[in-house]
């Protein structure tokens, strides 16, 4: 049984969902280059099912993958959001599509452009409610800037970047990156870090290469291995530590960052660590305009998983402004009652906390 939260129904802002197009339709929706990359996933139900059920308050939450109501078309998505009580939604690609767009394959640029052209079409069709994230390939800074300029001019409302690699071989805080951060801040395009973008953070894949640590398959379950589950937030921590201590947020005070589908239990201890380590650097204390805690509150938002104890994190570490709701629609790991599960956790903090978690906190990344 799914939960309708009357106090916020119809106004909920969702910071994580996915554009989930059946593999067999990738050529039609994206283009030929993308379709060629998708062939290896053809026939896997999560990626290629087309038997979409009628849209109901149950089917919209319980049907997962490409068969979910509204998974693959802007019109269907808007109808699904109406049933779920969601006003605006951040939308990410299938990770299996982002990977080739970020690769060094000769067709990577074509795949990226095909996907981003679809993003622009969805944004235009979404009447301000659909916010698909355009992909930026940061293997070269100039290439990322050029594509950011293109998608900004086309009406995109957010971008998704890799956090597992040094952009263009540089620190995210290096002067060479400032033109990109300035462009995204000026265009009001939030930067998002999301699971899947951490690839490359570990120099070796050997860390997770053991029986209990390897992932399962998409068909049998557990496609994300235990090692990844335990470490996937580390790339985002590294990226944010670099940006915060490197003064990026001070130089670009309107730049907004979302850390999505990487959990949130690490955030409080991480911010405490950043604040503590300031004591070891006079240069940082004299140079930074705000504390790491203030930067998080002003410019960063994070999505907890539905099973996490977010209220406990707020009670221990404060920063109630940074945590925001997400569904992960239509992925199985989003659960079948994320509103109910998260509301049960947040409700003891009071009505204002419910309003903040489900609506106002996310406005930083999903402004009207």
* Domain range list for the chain: 89-364
Given 3.40.50.1980, 3.40.50.1580, 3.20.20.140, 1.10.540.10, which CATH number is that of 89-364? 3.20.20.140
Q: How confident is the model at residue 38 (pLDDT cuts 50, 70, 90)?
A: confident
Tokens 């300031």 identify what position?
278
For the segment 327-333, the average pLDDT, to the nearest whole number, is 95
pLDDT at 321 over 90: yes
* pLDDT > 70 in the chain, percent: 99
- pLDDT of amino acid 96: 86
Query: Is pLDDT of 82 > 90?
Result: yes
- State both tokens at 46: 């999560």
Nearest by Cα to 66 from 334, 337, 329, 333: 329
More confident residue, 218 or 149: 149
Per-residue pLDDT at 47: 85
* CB neighbour list of residue 145: distance below 8 Å, 6 or more residues apart: 179, 180, 183
Radius of gyration of the chain (CA): 20
Name the band, by pLDDT with cuts 50, 70 and 90, for residue 220.
Answer: low
Say how far apart CA 366 and CA 177 lie, in whole Å: 24
Question: Which residues, in sequence order, are CB contacts of 161 under 8 Å at separation 6+?
Answer: 135, 136, 138, 144, 167, 191, 192, 193, 197
Burial class from Cβ neighbours inside 10 Å (0-12, 13-18, 19+) for residue 109 reads middle
Q: List pLDDT tens digits, range 99-140.
A: 999 988 888 999 999 999 999 999 999 999 999 999 999 999
Closest CA to 338 of 353, 328, 347: 328
Is beta strand 18-19 parallel, antiparallel or unpaired with respect to 86-93? parallel
Q: Would the pLDDT of 221 be above 90? A: no
pLDDT at position 101, please? 94
Residue 44, pLDDT score: 82
Q: What percent of the chain has pLDDT over 90?
A: 89
* Cβ within 8 Å of residue 203, ≥6 positions away: none
Could you tell me the pLDDT band of residue 45, with boundaries at 50, 70 and 90?
confident
Mean pLDDT of the region 47-63: 94
Q: What is the pLDDT of residues 236-269, one digit of tens each?
A: 999 999 999 999 999 999 999 999 999 999 999 9
Could you tell me which residues come within 8 angstroms of residue 351 by beta carbon, excluding any fewer than 6 positions away?
Answer: 7
What DSSP designation does 257 have? E
pTM: 0.96
Which one is predicted more confidently, 156 or 222?
A: 156
Q: What is the mean pLDDT of residues 57-62?
A: 96
pLDDT of residue 219: 57
Asked if residue 163 lies in contact with residue 197, where contact means CB atoms within 8 angstroms, the answer is yes
């Amino acid at each position: 049984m799914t939960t309708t939260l009357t106090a916020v129904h119809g106004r909920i802002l969702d910071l994580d969902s996915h554009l989930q197009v059946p593999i067999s339709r990738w050529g039609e929706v994206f283009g030929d280059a993308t379709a060629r990359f998708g062939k290896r996933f053809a026939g896997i139900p999560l990626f290629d099912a087309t038997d979409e059920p009628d849209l109901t308050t149950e089917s919209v939450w319980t049907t997962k993958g490409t068969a979910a109501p509204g998974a693959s078309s802007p019109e269907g998505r808007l109808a699904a959001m109406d049933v779920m009580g969601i006003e605006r939604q951040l939308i990410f690609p299938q990770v299996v599509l982002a990977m080739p767009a970020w690769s060094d394959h000769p067709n990577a640029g074509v795949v990226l452009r095909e996907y981003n052209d679809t993003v622009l079409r969805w944004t235009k069709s979404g009447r301000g409610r659909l916010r698909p994230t355009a992909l930026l390939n940061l293997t070269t800074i100039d290439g990322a800037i050029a594509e950011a300029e293109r998608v900004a001019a086309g009406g995109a409302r957010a971008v998704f970047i890799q956090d597992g690699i040094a952009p263009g071989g540089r620190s995210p805080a290096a002067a060479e990156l400032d033109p990109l951060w300035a462009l995204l801040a000026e265009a009001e395009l939030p930067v998002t870090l999301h699971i899947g973008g951490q690839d490359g953070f570990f120099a070796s894949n050997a860390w997770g290469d053991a029986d209990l640590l390897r992932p399962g398959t998409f068909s049998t379950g557990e496609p994300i291995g235990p090692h990844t589950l335990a470490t996937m937030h580390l790339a985002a921590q590294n990226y944010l530590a670099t940006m915060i201590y490197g003064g990026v947020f001070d130089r670009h005070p309107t730049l907004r960052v979302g850390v999505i589908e990487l959990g949130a239990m690490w955030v409080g201890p991480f911010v405490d660590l950043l604040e503590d380590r300031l004591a070891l650097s006079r240069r940082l204390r004299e140079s930074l305009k705000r504390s790491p805690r203030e930067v998080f509150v002003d410019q960063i938002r994070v999505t907890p998983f539905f099973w996490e104890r977010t209220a406990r994190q707020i009670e221990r570490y404060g920063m109630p402004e940074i945590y925001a709701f997400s569904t992960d629609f239509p992925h199985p790991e989003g659960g079948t009652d994320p509103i109910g599960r998260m509301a049960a956790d947040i409700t003891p903090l009071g009505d204002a906390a419910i309003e903040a978690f489900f609506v106002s906190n996310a406005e930083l990344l999903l402004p009207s």
